[in-house]
Each structure stands twice: as structure tokens, then as C-alpha cells.
């Protein structure tokens, strides 16, 4: 889809003009640290929004905590699919919340979160070790939340946790 392609292109350009590539994202540890920093900033800024409404219907968020031992035993493809599932659920929650948050500060943060999470979603769809298209046929563990801030918390935990460890694991193979 052209809008998706445009977003991925702008994401790759945003990473630093000219030399950006998924390999570089994985091999340059400063980039994942930058995304963790941005996730923390977004979480902090949404926390400063005045009078954020409680959502009138709950958003389904992935539970992104994990056991490092179990994580290490999974293949990179399994990890990638698991993160894609989490991201797909998270992006859906952001879209659902966007429909309920009209207040400018919250809406602006949600829009930014959507762009970041969706960029990772598109990027991870380009990494593949198995033939065939990605199918979102997955059911991650999830929880229902009515607070907008919990969406940002989940995103930060996902980037700081699974995504950072995934990139670290890929770096072992890709970055010689």
C-alpha cells in the first residue's frame, strides 16, 4: 500500500539520511536507545496532558512482559512474529483511543505514538527468514485498559524489552 510504503521510507530516512537500513538499525545500538528515549518522552508528555479522559470503552493491549530464559530459547522468526502481534494489537489500541480522545494534547501524542509503532510494524514485516507473507494470525496475551497512558507504557515496555533484545539477537548474526 502506498501510504505504508511512504511511512516506511520516511522512517528509514528519519533514521539518518542516506545510510539507513534495517541492518544499520540493528547494528547501531544508539538507534534503539534513541527509540527507547522517544518512547519515554512520549509517555512523559502524555502524562502531562491535562484532563485526559478515561476511555469509554477499553482498549485491548498486549502484555509485553517476558521471561528472558524463554525468550532466548525462541528462534528469531518466532520472536519477530511475537513482536509483530504485539505491535499490531498496540496499533489497533492507538487507533481505538484516537477515536475517543478529542483533547489536543492527548490526540497529538497518540498520533505520534501511532507513527512510531506503525513504523516498527512495517519495518519488522520487511525482516523475514521464512518464505511467504506475514499473517497476523496470532493471539498475544492481552489486557483491557481504559487509561490512555497505559498504551504509552505498553509501547515503552515493548521497545525497551522485546524489541531491544530482538535487535540485540539480530546484531549477533548481522553485524560482523
Q: Walk along the chain (176 residues) and give the pLDDT tens digit of each residue.
A: 444 455 555 555 444 433 345 666 778 888 888 899 999 999 999 999 988 889 998 999 999 999 999 999 998 888 988 999 999 999 999 999 999 998 899 999 999 999 999 988 888 887 765 544 555 557 678 999 999 999 999 999 999 999 999 988 888 877 77
Residue-range definition of the domain harbouring residue 116? 3-174
pTM for the model:
0.82
d(CA 87, CA 95): 12
Identify the pLDDT of residue 59: 93
Whether 32 contacts 158, CB under 8 Å: no
- Give the count of beta carbons closer than 10 Å to the beta carbon of residue 55: 20
Identify the pLDDT of residue 20: 41
Question: Which stretches of 49-103 are DSSP H helices?
Answer: 68-72, 76-98
Identify the pLDDT of residue 139: 67
> Can you give the CATH number for the domain in which 74 is found?
1.20.1250.10
Main-chain dihedrals φ then ψ at residue 79, nearest 5 degrees: -60, -45
Q: Give the 3-state secondary structure of residue 114.
A: helix
d(CA 43, CA 78): 28
Q: Give the 3-state secondary structure of residue 97.
A: helix
* Structural domains of the chain, count: 1
Identify the pLDDT of residue 110: 96
Identify the pLDDT of residue 160: 95
Amino acid at each position: 500500500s502506498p501510504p505504508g510504503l511512504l511511512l516506511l521510507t520516511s522512517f528509514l530516512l528519519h533514521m539518518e539520511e542516506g545510510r539507513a537500513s534495517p541492518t544499520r538499525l540493528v547494528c547501531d545500538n544508539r538507534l534503539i536507545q534513541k527509540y527507547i528515549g522517544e518512547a519515554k518522552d512520549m509517555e512523559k508528555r502524555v502524562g502531562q496532558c491535562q484532563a485526559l479522559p478515561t476511555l469509554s470503552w477499553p482498549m485491548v493491549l498486549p502484555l509485553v512482559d517476558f521471561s528472558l530464559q524463554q525468550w532466548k530459547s525462541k528462534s528469531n522468526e518466532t520472536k519477530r512474529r511475537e513482536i509483530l502481534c504485539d505491535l499490531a494489537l498496540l496499533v489497533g489500541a492507538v487507533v481505538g483511543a484516537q477515536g475517543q480522545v478529542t483533547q489536543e494534547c492527548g490526540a497529538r501524542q497518540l498520533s505520534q505514538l501511532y507513527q512510531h509503532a506503525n513504523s516498527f510494524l512495517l519495518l519488522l514485516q520487511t525482516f523475514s527468514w521464512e518464505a511467504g507473507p506475514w499473517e497476523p494470525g496470532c493471539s498475544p496475551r492481552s489486557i483491557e485498559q481504559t487509561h490512555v497512558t497505559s498504551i504509552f507504557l505498553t509501547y515503552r515496555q515493548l521497545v525497551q524489552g522485546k524489541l531491544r533484545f530482538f535487535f540485540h539477537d539480530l546484531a549477533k548474526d548481522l553485524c560482523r
